[in-house]
Amino acid sequence: MREPADVAVVGTGVVGLAVAVELLHRGLTVTVVGPRAGAHRGQGTRAAGAMLSTFSELEPHHDKQRAGLETAERLAAHQAYPAWLERIAAMGGDAVQTPAGTWVLAPAGRRLSLNPIADAARAAGHSVEEHDASSIPALRVPASSAGALWLPTEARVDTAALMESLSRAIEHHPHATWTTQAATSGSAGTVACTDGVTVRAREIVLAAGCGIPALLPEHGRPLGLPPILAGRGVSARLNAPAVELGQVVRTPNAAFACGVHLVPRTDGSLYLGGTNRLTLNADPEQAPVLDEVAVLAADVASLLDPRLGAATLREARAGLRPYTLDHLPLIGRTGEPSVLVATATYRCGVLLAPRLAQLVADEITAPGSLEAHPYRALRPMPTPRIDDVLAEGAAQDLLEHLLQGGGHLSPAQQAEFAAFADLALRALLEEGSKAGTAVRRLWQRAPVIEAVPALFVLARRLEAVR
């Protein structure tokens, strides 16, 4: 029987492979568990635009302390990236480029969304330029656009190239093995796989994203883990010969999602993303639906460049983004000390991968390193209250969500609808009707701001079948 590895890493997304590479670099033996090739359906990494968004994910309503914490970790990852890529190449991977430069375009009425992004960049000593939206090269933005920021240090990376480089570095390493079957469970000392093979290791790192709950007994309660939720995002690759884009262009976060964004790919195509929908049935096999692709198409044409409505679709795919109730990553030891997690990176997994890999490897090589870290797996995580979530502007975000695809209401009508939606959701959560009971049940399962659109739709559907 083969000697147990020092560590088994379950999951072959960017976080899992980054953890494996970091552990190998520190001299440990590692077994990676999960598919090497194939479609990787549902995997967040493979569906990602891979914008390295150090600042552009910030929003006006973000708490200053929370924004400072996240920005500090993103900056640490940003600073680690060049040396990390060089190390991967030295271990047998390919050279991977990170072309720099991101435009953030504020749609009509959203000029203030640029302020926290610009403020954070300047505070960190990074260059930021304010421009008229028409200054964005290669695009014919709508005349109503409110302004733009140029962030010359925010970069991008090609996910296919990055994942291939990480995979090769692991495969070439003499202390690495790779079990390409999917895991079915992970517990102290063992990982069971779909082909009946059992992988043994002294410590196990679960880095399978939204697939982690299915690996755990009783939904992870013995490990003390909080719920891991799934945000479903759909992306597309386009052929758009009329738009020769050289840098990332995105809008600020809106409507419970990252802003609509275009990312140039090395093959000449354009990556298009921007959707995010809470799903309580995290099925990796579910293909993109027409409504999701339609939202992307409408947003890119109405917010970035109307010519993109004539782009041809090369591919569409769905990815599942793992996140927690407090929207912070989940790393480190669980209630079973030999089982660690590295997940819940939400929309920043590709950027944060080298930073989280370093933190997890620190905990394995020096137990206790993460005891005070805000991302530690066993941190207190109070359930958000509906009052707090609605106070974050959820009703206004709901309106933006409903108006995706070019819908329009006057500013006065928008304010009236937002106020009504706020009151209606509070009333439904309090009343004892069938609709109120169903809405409360859904909120109890997913008490996060991303649930607000689902609460709205649920109430409407229940009313329709009465």
- The tens digit of pLDDT for each residue in 136-164 reads 999 999 999 999 999 999 999 999 999 99
The percentage of the chain sitting over the pLDDT mark of 90, rounded to a whole number, equals: 72
Region 382-407: what's the mean pLDDT?
72
Segments of 98-224 assigned E as strands = 100-106, 129-131, 147-156, 176-179, 183-187, 190-193, 198-206
My answer on whether 126 and 268 are in the same domain is: yes
Among 319, 347, 378, identify where a domain stops.
319
pLDDT higher than 90, residue 354: yes
Please tell me whether residues 307 and 399 are part of one structural domain. Answer: no
Least confident segment among 50-64, 143-157, 231-245, 388-402: 388-402
Q: Does 252 lie in the same domain as 144?
A: yes
Q: What is the DSSP secondary structure assignment for residue 60, as one 8-state letter?
A: T
* Assigned domain for 430 exists: yes
> Domain span at residue 106?
98-153+230-319
Q: With respect to residue 30, please indicate whether it lies within any of the assigned structural domains.
A: no
pTM: 0.92
Give the burial class of 194: count Cβ atoms within 10 A of its Cβ; 0-12 exposed, 13-18 middle, 19 or more buried. exposed
What confidence tier does 286 reach under pLDDT thresholds 50, 70, 90? very high
Does any domain span residue 346? no
* Strand runs labelled E in 88-163: 100-106, 129-131, 147-156
From 319, 352, 374, the end of a domain falls on 319
Task: Answer yes or no: do 426 and 280 share one domain.
Answer: no
The reply to whether 91 falls in a domain is no
Please determine, for residue 405, whether its predicted confidence score (pLDDT) is greater than 60. Answer: no
**Residue 269, in any domain of the structure:** yes
115 with 254, same domain: the answer is yes
Pair 110, 240 in one domain: yes
Q: Is the pLDDT of residue 306 over 80?
A: yes
- H-type helices in 26-145, by residue range? 64-90, 115-123
Q: Specify if 369 maps to a domain.
A: no
Average pLDDT over residues 222-236: 92
Say whether pLDDT at 369 is over 80.
yes
- Is there a single domain that holds both residue 312 and residue 401? no
Asked if residue 170 belongs to a domain, the reply is no
Claim to verify: residue 313 and residue 236 sit in the same structural domain: yes
Shared domain for 306 and 423, answered yes or no, is no
Assign 10 to helix, strand or coil: strand
Longest CA–CA span in the chain (Å) reads 72
Q: What distance in Å separates the CA atoms of residue 321 and residue 43, rounded to the nearest whole number? A: 8
What is the C-alpha separation between 237 and 258, in angstroms, rounded?
17
Tell me how far apart the alpha carbons of residues 377 and 248 are, in angstroms, rounded to a whole number.
Answer: 33
Instruction: Give the CATH number, domain containing residue 313.
Output: 3.30.9.10
126 and 238 inside one domain: yes
Distances (CA, A) of 148 to 87, 108, 136, 151: 35, 11, 8, 10
> Do 239 and 265 form a contact (C-beta atoms < 8 A)?
no
Number of domains in the chain: 2
Pair 315, 430 in one domain: no
* Helix, coil or strand: residue 263: strand
Inside any domain, residue 238: yes
Query: Are 398 and 302 part of one and the same domain?
Result: no
Last residue of a domain, one of 299, 319, 339: 319
